[in-house]
Every structure is written in C-alpha cells, then in structure tokens.
Amino acid sequence: MLLNNFYTVLRSAIQDQERTVFITIHPDHPVFEGHFPGQPVVPGVCMVQIVKELLEQQEGKNLFLRESSQMKFLQLLTPSEKDELGVTIQMQPQDNDESLLRIAASIRRQDVLIFKMQGIFSESVSSV
C-alpha cells in the first residue's frame, strides 16, 4: 500500500459516478533513490497503484486489475509536496457482469494531463 507513505490524500469530491481525489506525492520516498537518482520521476506502476488504492477505498474491498484497454503516460510526473495532483476515477456501466468495475481514470497537475487509463477491476481473492 502506498497511501500515507508514498502519497497523502488532501481531499476528495464526488459527483454522480465520478470521484476526484487530490493528493501530494512525498518526494523523499525511497523509490526515488533508484527512479532516478538526481532526477526523480514517479514510476508508472505507482500511478496505476494509486488509482487502484483510491478505487478500493471508494468501493470498500480489495481489487485486482483484470484488464486495461488503455494506459497512457503522457507527461513525466516529478514528485513534489507543493504540487496538488487530481486523480479522477469515473465508473462506467458494465453490461454483462455486475461483479466487474469498469473505470476510466486520469491524473492531472492543474490542467496538464499526466496519465490516463481505462480498465476493468474485480474483487481480488485473498490467498491464505
């Protein structure tokens, strides 16, 4: 889990089937020692994990990314506690299986689109 270690939630807003969560990323996190020394960049997998964790909070269950029909990293995301990022998750209707969550998500810094994805999540089965 990255929440409160890699990033902090500042506030959120919900409107219909869309939730926007405003976060900051902690630039002193150890991941940036290797990604990349002297020029920290948020790894793409961390952006996907942030979306997953925020969706899990919203839905109240552990989720698994089953499929991603689109995943685009449009700008480098450098960490800064001064920057407020908006993570927007839109729920989309799923025609044939209500156990699946179809989403469209994006991360923005002000008006600049940094990352966007479309995917299908399902409840994960925990192993003992």
Q: Tens digits of per-residue pLDDT, 32-55?
A: 999 988 999 999 999 999 999 999
pLDDT at position 81 is 86
Nearest to 98 by CA among 123, 115, 124: 123
pLDDT at 26 over 50: yes
Cα separations in angstroms, 122 against 25, 90, 94: 27, 15, 11
Cα separations in angstroms, 126 against 52, 63, 76, 101, 119: 16, 10, 34, 18, 21
- The predicted model scores a pTM of 0.93
Which residues on adjacent β-strands are paired with residue 95?
none
Name the percent of the chain lying above pLDDT 90.
79
Q: Which fold has domain 7-123?
A: Thiol Ester Dehydrase; Chain A (3.10.129)
pLDDT at position 5 is 94
pLDDT tens column, 74-108: 999 999 889 999 999 999 877 777 789 999 999 99
Rounded to whole angstroms, how far apart are CA atoms 67 and 5? 27
Cα separations in angstroms, 20 against 51, 87, 126: 11, 5, 28
User: Distance from first CA to last CA of the chain, Å, rounded?
Assistant: 19
Top pLDDT among 3 and 104 is at 104
pLDDT at 128 over 50: no
- Mean pLDDT score of the chain, rounded to an integer? 92
